[in-house]
Amino acid sequence: MTALRVYLAAARLAAEQLRREPDAWMVLATTPLQSLAIVTILQHTGRDDLVGIAIVGPGLMALVQVALFDAAEQLTVDRSRGVLEPLAATPAPLVALDLGRSTVVLLVALLGTVESLAVVHLATGGQSSVHHPAEAFLVLVATVWATAGFVLPCTALLLMTRATRALQNAIPWPLALVSGVLVPVALLPVWLQPVSPFLYLTHSAELLRATTRPEPVSDLWTGLAVILVSGAVALVAGVVSRDRVFARLRRTGGLSLT
Amino acid sequence: MDVRGLTRTFRRPGRPDRIALDAVELAVTVGTTHGLLGPNGAGKTTLCKILSTVLLPTSGEVRVLGHDAARDPRAVRSQIGIAFGGERGLYGRLTVEQNLRYWAALLGLGGRQARSRVALTMERFGLRDRARDRVETLSRGWKQRVHLARAVLGEPQLLILDEPTAGLDPVAARAVRQIVSDELAGTCTVLLTTHDLREAELLCSTVTVMGGGRVLAAGNPAELALTDRPTHTVVLATPAPAVVERLCASVRATAVEVSSGRTELRFTSSTDLQQGIAVLLSDGVVGFTVGEGSLEDYYVDLVGSRGVGE
Report the C-alpha gap between A209 and A130 in whole angstroms: 9
pLDDT of residue A7: 94
Contacts of A87 in chain B (CB under 8 A): 106
Report the pLDDT averaged over residues B244-273: 81
In angstroms, rounded to a whole number, what is the distance separating the alpha carbons of residues B32 and A235? Answer: 44
DSSP conformation class of B40: T
Q: What is the pLDDT of residue B310?
A: 40
Q: How far apart are CA A182 and CA A185, in angstroms?
A: 9
The answer to whether the CB of B288 falls within 8 A of the CB of B236 is: yes
Whether residue B49 and residue A253 make contact (CB cut-off 8 A), yes or no, is yes
Q: What length is written for chain B?
A: 310
Architecture (CATH level 2) of domain B230-292: 2-Layer Sandwich (3.30)
Q: How far is CA B95 from the centre of its chain?
A: 29
Is the model more confident about B175 or about A147?
A147
Q: How confident is the model at residue B118 (pLDDT cuts 50, 70, 90)?
A: very high
* Average confidence (pLDDT) over B233-246: 84
Using the beta-carbon criterion (under 8 Å), do B80 and A253 form an inter-chain contact?
no
* Contact flag A89-B107 (C-beta cutoff 8 Å): no
Residue of A16, A75, A97, A246 to mutate, interface with B, max B Cβ within 10 Å = A16
Rounded mean pLDDT, B109-129: 92
Residue B308 has pLDDT above 50, yes or no: no
DSSP state of B251: S
What Cα–Cα distance (Å) separates residue B58 from each residue in B3, B7, B107, B208, B215? Answer: 13, 6, 28, 21, 17
Strand order in the sheet with B288-292: B253-259, B262-267, B232-236, B288-292
Percent of residues in chain A assigned helix, strand, coil, to nearest 5: 80, 0, 20
Residue A148 C-alpha, separation from nearest chain B C-alpha, in angstroms:
20
Contact in structure between A140 and A222 (CB atoms under 8 Å) = no
Question: Closest partner residue to B80 among A12, A89, A253, by Cβ?
Answer: A89
Beta strands in A137-204 (DSSP E): none
Window 161-190 of A: residues touching B by CB (8 A cutoff) are: none
- Collect all residues with Cβ–Cβ distance below 8 Å to B300 and sequence separation of at least 6: none
Distances (CA, A) of B22 to B8, B43, B46, B57, B68: 7, 9, 11, 11, 19
* CA neighbor of B206 nearest in space, from B85, B36, B40, B20: B36
Residues of chain A scoring pLDDT < 70: 1, 258
pLDDT at B293: 65
Residue B69: strand, helix, or coil: coil
pLDDT in tens, B130-158: 999 999 999 988 999 999 999 999 999 99
Chosen for mutation from A18, A20, A80, A98 (greatest number of chain B CBs closer than 10 Å) is: A20
Q: Does domain B2-219 have CATH number 3.30.390.30?
A: no
All residues at 6 or more sequence positions from A33 whose CB lies less than 8 Å from its CB, including other chains: none
Contact A89 B82 (CB under 8 A): yes
Please indicate whether, in this complex, the C-beta atoms of A253 and B74 are within 8 angstroms of each other.
no
Identity of the residue in A13, A81, A88 whose CB atom sits nearest the CB atom of B102: A13
Residues of chain B found within 8 Å of residue A89, distances taken between Cβ atoms? 52-54, 77, 80, 82
Distance CA A38, CA A118 (A): 14
Number of separate domains in chain A? 1
- Order of strands across the sheet with B158-162? B80-83, B158-162, B189-194, B33-37, B206-211, B214-219
Question: Which residues in chain A have Cβ-Cβ distances shorter than 8 Å to B94?
Answer: 13, 16-17, 20
Cross-chain Cβ contact A86/B150 below 8 Å: yes
- Are residues B261 and B254 in contact, defined by beta-carbon separation less than 8 angstroms? no
Enumerate residues 12 to 51 of chain A having a beta carbon within 8 A of any beta carbon in chain B: 12-13, 16-17, 20-21
User: What pTM does this model have?
Assistant: 0.82
Cβ-Cβ contacts under 8 Å, B103 against chain A: 86, 90
Q: How many angstroms separate the CA atoms of B115 and B117, rounded?
A: 6
Domain ranges of chain B: 2-219, 230-292
B243 three-class SS: helix
Name the packing angle between helices A133-160 and A51-66 (round to 10°). 40
- Which of B40-44, B78-82, B171-175 is most confident? B78-82
> Does B89 contact A81 at a Cβ distance shorter than 8 Å?
yes
B15-52 residue pLDDT tens = 888 999 999 999 999 999 999 998 888 899 999 999 99
From the list A8, A88, A90, the residue facing B107 with the nearest CB is: A90
Range of the domain at A153: 3-257
Closest C-alpha among A30, A29, A51 to residue A123: A51
